[in-house]
Amino acid sequence: MRCPKAIRYKDKSGYDIIQLAVINRSENIYQLRYILGERRNVYRMIEDSSKNNMLHLVGRLAPWHKLKLRTGAALQLQRELQWREVVKKLVSPAYHTKENIFNETPDIVFTKEHKNLVKEGEKWMKTVAESCSITAALITTIVFAAAITVPGGSHQEKGFPLFRGQIAFKIFGLSDAISLFASSTSLLMFQSILTGRFSEQDFLVSLPRRLIIGLCTLMISTTAMMVAFSATLFLVFCHGKRWMLAPICVLALLPIASFATFQIPLMVDLFRSTYGYIGYIFKKRSSKNSRRLYPYDIRLFFGK
C-alpha cells in the first residue's frame, strides 16, 4: 500500500472504500483488502451507524447496472450469492448471525432484499427447462423409434440388419445410441429442475449445474441425431455415391449451427458464472501484483 491515508476516505453516509465496494459490487476495489496490511482485520468487525456489518451490506440488492450484466434473473441471483459467500470469509464468524438495530440478521436482510429476484429466477429457470425438455423428449422419441426400425430392414430368416457390414450403418448405430442416452439424461436434468425446490442457496451451484448438464447433453443428442439421420440417408438413398455426402452434411449442419448459435452463449455464461467467477475474480492477489493505489483513485470511486 503506497498511500495508507487514502483508505480512510469516507463518503457522506460514512462508508469507506471497502464497504462501498461491497454495496456497489466492485470486484477490483474489493481486492484492496489484500493489501491493507494491519487494517485487514478491522473489516472483520466493522459496523456502520445502524450496526450493519459487512454481511448486512452485501445482503442489500445490487445496483441495477450491475445486475443487468448477468444473463437472466437466475444468474443475477447466483452472483449475489457468490458475493455473500466471499464476504463471509472476511467477516468474523461471530458477526454471521449478529442483528442490527432493526433486529435483522444478515440472512434476513438478504432474503428480504432478494425476494423478488428469487421469484424471477425461479420463473426464468422453469421457462428454460420447460422449453428444452420438450425438445429433449422429442429427440428421445425419434431416436428410440429409429433404433428399433433399422434402415434397410433385417434379414427375414436370420434377423440381422441387411446393412450391418457397412461403415455408414455402424455410424448410424453408434450415433443413435449416443443421442438416445444423451437426450434421456437431458430430459431427466430438466425434469429435476421443474420438480425441484427453488430456495436461495440452490441458485448458487445446484440449479445452474443441472441446467449446464441438461443443455450440454441436449447439444450432444441433437448433433448425434443429425449424424444418425445423415447416415440413414446415405445408406438408403445414395447407393454408395460418396459425392452425396457433401449436400447431406451441409443440410445436417444447419440445425446444429442454429442450436449452437442460440444455446452456446447461454452455456458459456452459465459455466463461467458457476465455476469461474469466485476462483478468478475473488482470488487472493499479492501486493506485488496489485496496482499502485493513489488518493486520486479513491476520490474517483467516492465521486469526489
Weakest mean pLDDT among 8-17, 259-268, 286-295: 286-295
Pairwise CA distance, residues 33 & 40, whole Å? 6
Does the pLDDT of residue 277 top 70, yes or no? no
**Residue entry with cell 493505489:** 293
Does the pLDDT of residue 260 top 90, yes or no? no
Domains of the chain, residue spans:
12-113, 116-280
Average pLDDT over residues 78-93: 87
Weakest mean pLDDT among 71-75, 155-159, 171-175: 155-159
| DSSP at 161 | B
pLDDT tens digits, residue range 30-69? 766 655 544 555 556 677 778 888 899 999 999 998 888 8
Kindly provide the b/e burial profile for residues 15-43, where b requires at least 16 CB atoms within 10 angstroms of the residue's own CB. Answer: bbbbbbbbbebbeebbbbbebbeebeeeb
**Residue entry with cell 493489501:** 35
Per-residue pLDDT, 32: 65
What's the whole-number average pLDDT of the chain?
A: 80
Does the pLDDT of residue 129 top 90, yes or no? yes
Q: Do 244 and 266 meet the contact criterion of CB atoms below 8 Å apart?
A: no
> Radius of gyration (Cα) for the chain, nearest Å?
27
Average pLDDT over residues 70-93: 88
Does the pLDDT of residue 300 top 50, yes or no? no
Does the pLDDT of residue 104 top 60, yes or no? yes
Per-residue pLDDT, 7: 61
Per-residue pLDDT, 294: 47
Per-residue pLDDT, 235: 79
Q: Taking Cα atoms as reference points, which of 74, 163, 171 lies closest to residue 114?
A: 74
Does the pLDDT of residue 188 top 90, yes or no? yes
Average pLDDT over residues 268-279: 79
Does the pLDDT of residue 170 top 50, yes or no? yes
Weakest mean pLDDT among 19-33, 100-114, 211-225, 264-278: 19-33
Distance of CA 70 to the CA centre of its chain: 10
Per-residue pLDDT, 125: 94
- The domain at 116-280 falls in which architecture? Up-down Bundle (1.20)
Pairwise CA distance, residues 154 & 169, whole Å? 12
Return all residues near 115 (Cβ < 8 A) that are at least 6 apart: none
Per-residue pLDDT, 239: 65
Average pLDDT over residues 121-134: 93
Residue 95, C-alpha cell as written in the block:
458477526
Q: Taking Cα atoms as reference points, which of 169, 120, 126 lies closest to residue 147?
A: 169
Q: Do 125 and 209 meet the contact criterion of CB atoms below 8 Å apart?
A: no
Pairwise CA distance, residues 241 & 62, whole Å? 61
Return all residues near 292 (Cβ < 8 A) that are at least 6 apart: 2
Per-residue pLDDT, 186: 95
Per-residue pLDDT, 3: 57
